[in-house]
């Protein structure tokens, strides 16, 4: 499953909750990048300024990190990808990786939260210990929103044409959104059995 939505839509929280509840391997590119940066190696040093400024990391690096993470999954029902794929090229690459494992993307959930609400959430998060470097200024948040709108529309169209995309209302309490997601995802799991 792929979980997409604007920055600040709540993908991370919802993805982790669902993964734990249904025994899925949760793969967040943001977390993978943070781990690489914390290592302080050559790749980490190259990634740090990109990540801190909310700039997209080159496909070849993201793909390697995701591919390595996929191999760590043992005994899970499947994968939940958060933050990947973000482009059509990444989509094709992910489909190829999964095909080699006799798997495929069965569902893409677009966590639908209006841009203004996402902006408010990111601004609030910037004031907490859980802030991300790219939440710290209005310009960075706007830049990330613009990049998302530009790149993700092609991915959304692609999965819509394949009848794999479902939009879920991301407004409400975390519990209400989790319940909505759970209903849709549980129905999808029944179909794939």
Nearest one of 153, 148, 156, 183 to 168, comparing CA atoms: 183
Instruction: List, in order, residues 6 or more apart from 142 with CB less than 8 Å away.
Output: none
| Token digits of residue 51 | 């990540």
CA distance 115 to 71: 35
Cα maximum dimension of the chain: 45
Domain ranges in the chain? 2-187
Specify whether the CB–CB gap between 59 and 93 falls below 8 A: yes
pLDDT tops 90 at residue 187: no
CA distance 158 to 180: 24
pLDDT for 59 equals 87
Instruction: Specify the pTM.
Output: 0.89
Query: 3-state class of 41 per DSSP?
Result: coil
pLDDT for 161 equals 97
pLDDT for 132 equals 82
- Note the pLDDT tens digit of each residue in 96-124: 999 998 999 999 999 999 999 999 999 99
- Note the pLDDT tens digit of each residue in 4-21: 999 999 999 999 999 998
pLDDT for 131 equals 80
pLDDT for 155 equals 95
pLDDT tops 90 at residue 171: yes
The correct CATH number of 2-187 out of 3.50.50.60, 3.40.50.300, 1.10.10.10, 3.30.428.10 is: 3.40.50.300
pLDDT for 186 equals 75
């Amino acid at each position: 499953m792929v979980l997409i939505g604007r920055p600040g839509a709540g993908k991370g929280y919802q993805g982790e909750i669902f993964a734990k509840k249904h025994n899925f391997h949760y793969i967040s590119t943001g977390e993978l990048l943070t781990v690489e940066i914390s290592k302080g190696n050559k790749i980490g040093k190259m990634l740090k300024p990109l990540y801190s400024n909310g700039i997209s990391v080159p496909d070849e690096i993201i793909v390697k990190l995701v591919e390595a993470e996929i191999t760590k999954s043992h005994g899970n029902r499947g994968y939940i990808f958060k933050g990947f794929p973000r482009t059509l090229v990444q989509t094709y690459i992910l489909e190829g990786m999964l095909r080699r494992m006799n798997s495929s993307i069965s569902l893409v959930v677009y966590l639908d939260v209006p841009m203004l609400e996402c902006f408010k959430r990111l601004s609030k998060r910037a004031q907490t210990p859980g802030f991300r470097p790219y939440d710290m200024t209005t310009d960075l948040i706007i830049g990330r929103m613009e990049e998302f709108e530009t790149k993700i529309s092609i991915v959304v169209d692609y999965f819509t044409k394949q009848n794999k995309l479902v939009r879920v209302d991301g407004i409400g309490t975390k519990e209400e959104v989790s319940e909505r997601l759970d209903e849709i995802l549980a129905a999808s799991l029944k179909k794939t059995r």
